[in-house]
Amino acid sequence: MTARPALAPASPAWADLPTHRVWLDGECRRLLAFGAAAALPGGGAAYLDADGRPAPEFGVQTWITARTAHSYSLGHLMGIPGSADVADAALAGLRGPLRDAEHGGWFHAVSSDGVPDLASGKSCYDHAFVMLAAASATVAGRPGAAALLDDATSVYLERFWDEAAGRPVDTWDVTFTRLDDYRGLNATMHSVEAMLAVADAVPDADAAAWRARAASAAAWVVRLAQEHGGRLPEHFGPTWEPELELNADRPGDQFKPYGATPGHGLEWARLLLHLEAATPDGADALLPTAVGLFDRAVADGWSADGAGGFVYTTDWSGVPVVRTRMHWVVCEAIGTAATLHERTGEARYADLYAGWWDYAERYLIDRKRGSWHHELDEQNRPAATVWPGKPDVYHAMQATLIPRLPLAPTLARALKEGLLR
């Protein structure tokens, strides 16, 4: 393997400044302090309202609980006091009330009084986040995490990974007897994130297989990007044919919005760079796709209607459909700009990175009530049409970490190895 040459930035980059890294560290700690109230005495993590208080009407949700376990495992690896307690409470929820002891896997949610959500079935999205949580907690040495990781990976491989297709299926009924026809890119994306983390948490003998699965799913996304001009289809039928008009009648769906999602183009671009760094012998072709996805997402999504911020979705010609601004999209833009700058040394990524942090400080970071506004309207005012409250700190916290860590290994392993800049 030939090492890639390091390219010097053409202009000063915030991510390289010690003073900016101090600022990122302070913002990371502020977010962790806000989200700590999510820890529930009976296990699990609450959905948080705009003031950081548990919102019982949302119950205890697996994906939020798993993202909390992941985030606070990272906090523990950073040496931030109190993080282990929050991580352990979330892990207790994944081992306890959210786990389906009869049929295996994890419920989508349980109500505030412990009644499982049976109607939503078992989703790949939820189970990918359980794998991510268990992997990060295992690296962080949290009690019971290794057993949880064994359980989560076994369920994922048995129920969700389609070996013939080289990508995951999406949703089963709660008993794992009926597989839904729907296939989704969102669950595939978070599966790749989780599989890379699992590879850094399991023995070396198993790591290569997890990276190979991630590479298989990523190869499909490369083809999709080429076939659709960088606007990735999100929804597919049972034989993986794109369903481009799905949910045209409810375009702002939380998990299945109509059209192209610029934020997912950004997130996929970043994940491709992490995969490339983790598998340098066979993934050099991923950089052009990452650049293409990034450029398309920025061209379509950023200030697309004349105001700052990324629109949530566009149609297949790039015209905005849902013009509200989601905080997670800016978080992914920040992280992807940082990774592209690290990978290429090009000054334009550093400039965009700095500009997006300016936008976040001006509109998204809530200095009065804590955390970040999760949604803004098209005039960049706080809104709650898709995401009420401030459910968790996962996206914003990672935006403070990714610029300070190498492209590989994944976050928990990099922190464990003392690679935080």
Q: What are the catalytic residues?
A: 264, 395
Angle formed by the axes of helices 327-344 and 262-278, to 10°?
40
Distance CA 38, CA 44 (A): 8
* Token code pair at residue 141: 């040495």
Contact between 185 and 236 under an 8 Å Cβ cutoff? The reply is yes
N residues, the chain: 421
Helices and strands (H, E) in the chain, number of each type: 13, 10
User: Residue 73's closest CA among 419, 398, 409?
Assistant: 398
Q: CA 325, 328, 329, 330 torsion: positive or negative? A: positive
How remote is the C-alpha of 59 from its chain's centroid?
21
At 421, list the tokens.
């800049």
CB count in 10 Å sphere of residue 273: 27
Contacts within 8 Å (CB) and 24+ apart, 95-102: 95/43, 95/144, 95/148, 96/42, 96/43, 96/44, 97/42, 97/43, 97/44, 97/60, 98/43, 98/44, 98/60, 98/62, 98/65, 100/174
Q: Are the CB atoms for 47 and 61 separated by under 8 Å?
A: yes
- List, in sequence order, every residue forming a beta bridge with 327; answer none if it has no partner: none
Both tokens of 221, joined, read 């996304």
Host H or E run for residue 60: strand 60-61
* Residue 330 DSSP SS3: helix
Cα 329 from Cα 311, distance rounded (Å) = 9
Check if the beta carbon of residue 77 is closer than 8 Å to that of residue 103.
Answer: no
CB 181 within 8 Å of CB 237: yes
Q: Taking the CB of residue 366, how many other CB atoms lie within 10 A of it?
A: 18
Residue showing tokens 């700095």: 354
